[in-house]
Structure 1
Amino acid sequence: MNLMKQTYWAPERSEEDVLTAMKNSDSFGAFDEEDNLVGFAIVVTDFVSIWYLCDVIVDESHRGQGIGKMLMSAVVSDERFVKAGALLKTKDAHGLYRKYGFHDVDAGRVMYRTKEG
């Protein structure tokens, strides 16, 4: 199943392209009882100064179950990222991202999470 088809930002992205993105970045996945991928988040980073959170998606049939929160918690608590700032571009789910330290910096479209420490 290609979860990207459920997004507004990349419904045309092929499964092959999604797999390439996941292989060339840090990916976080959520799976159901049958090991089907039901959500994922991709992080692109230099591991020093910044990381970019992209392609956070939860399958429509699994939304409202805390999967997005679980993915975000895993990302922001990953020790490789906690000392770097983070960038996210999105037009929705701002409430979720704010819970994990992101805040608006550009008219509700770009959010930045400052470095810890």
Structure 2
Amino acid sequence: MTTPPLQTATDAAATVADGALLVDVRSAQGRAAHGEIPGATLVDRDDLDALFGPADAPAISLDTPVVVVCGSPNGSGPVAEALARRGYAHVSHVDGGFPAWKDAGLPATDPAEAPAEPTDAPA
């Protein structure tokens, strides 16, 4: 098995525009704190069967291109590798994760939660 490649956010968006399934494996808290990608399929990284079905009976064709995004490649890489082990032949993940997607000016919602304000330390 080869390690699924990293794609720049812009290349990943083009892959999705060409019909790839965009899978966001960030937690609900991560999405609320940083924003979401409209149209992304949300998947619990610890329960891939919920979307993809069991490894021995895939619910989504193994020929389906899949792009995985997380907060960073450290989160998306293991999921992309798990999908490759299941037999998905066209899996990649986003270099820089969601922050890179947003920084590239690609579609993303604003955070649902306001970031915590820094507090002034006592003098």
Highest CA radius of gyration, 1 or 2?
A: 2
Structure showing the higher helix proportion among its residues: 2
Structure showing the higher strand proportion among its residues: 1
Bigger relative contact order (CA 8 A; separation at least 6) = 2
TM-score clears 0.5:
no
Q: What is the TM-score with the length of structure 2 in the denominator?
A: 0.31
